[in-house]
Amino acid sequence: MKADRHGARATDRAAGWRGGALLLGAAALVLPGCSAIQESRGYIVDPTLTSLVQPQIDNKQSVESTLGRPTFVSQFGNPTWYYVSSITGQRPFSRPKIRQHSVLAVQFDAAGRVAKVDRSGIENVVFLDPNGNKTPTLGRERGFLEDLFGNIGQVGGAGLPGGAGAPGSGPNGQ
């Protein structure tokens, strides 16, 4: 009888271990789904390379060989190259949020040499919250059915024989 009792305990322990392992495995599968997904957008910043760009020493060619092509180039004013980098994070079922943001602006003089290097971060980012209200317009508001059936009979029979707008249908045959 003792062997049965110890055998029953061993079976209960094995079942407990299997249940715990199953629960641990399920938690391991579910938890990564709750973590934030991070994504890099734009230029990937390498602090060592960005610190190598020096005013009055580098030119456009050396900047491009060191940092690569810029994210965008200014269209007006002094020629400036912008290297924009953002790292966003997104939790499941939510909108992505900016976690880190940096802009490296390399300004050139008329001879093509680096005149100034500016760095800025997320403190200069403006977050806009669009207004959900409608913009008022002149005229009256039409419902769905008025939009759907409102133009029936409004369009002349242009191009149809004898219809309005057809040649020869005017008062003088024009």
Decide if pLDDT at 157 tops 80.
no
Show Cβ contacts of residue 138 under 8 Å, excluding neighbours closer than 6 positions. none
State the pLDDT confidence band at 5, using cuts at 50, 70 and 90.
low
**Could you tell me what percent of the chain has a pLDDT over 90?**
24
Residue range 105-121: average pLDDT? 92
DSSP one-letter code for 139: S
* pTM for this model (two decimals): 0.54
Q: What is the DSSP string of the chain?
A: -HHHHHHHHHHHHHHHHHHHHHHHHHHHHHHHHHSPEEEEEE----HHHHHT--TTT-BHHHHHHHH-S-SEE-SSSS-EEEEEEEEEEE-TTS--EEEEEEEEEEEE-TTSBEEEEEEE-GGG--------SPPP-SS----HHHHHHTTTTTS--TTSTTSTTSTT-STT--
Question: Is pLDDT above 60 for 137?
Answer: yes
Q: Which helix (H) or strand (E) holds 40?
A: strand 37-42
The per-type count for the chain, helices as H runs and strands as E runs, is 4, 5
- On the question of pLDDT at 1 being above 50, the answer is no
Binned at pLDDT 50, 70 and 90, residue 20 comes out as low
Cβ-Cβ contacts under 8 Å for 21 (sequence gap 6 or more)? none
C-beta separation of 62 from 54 below 8 A: no
- C-alpha 129/C-alpha 160 separation (Å) is 51
pLDDT at residue 166 in the model:
52
**Residue ranges of domains in the chain:** 35-123
- Residue 155 β-bridge partners: none
Please state the rounded mean pLDDT for residues 72-81.
90
Q: 82 pairs with which residues across the strands?
A: 72, 105
Q: Residue 109's pLDDT is what?
A: 92
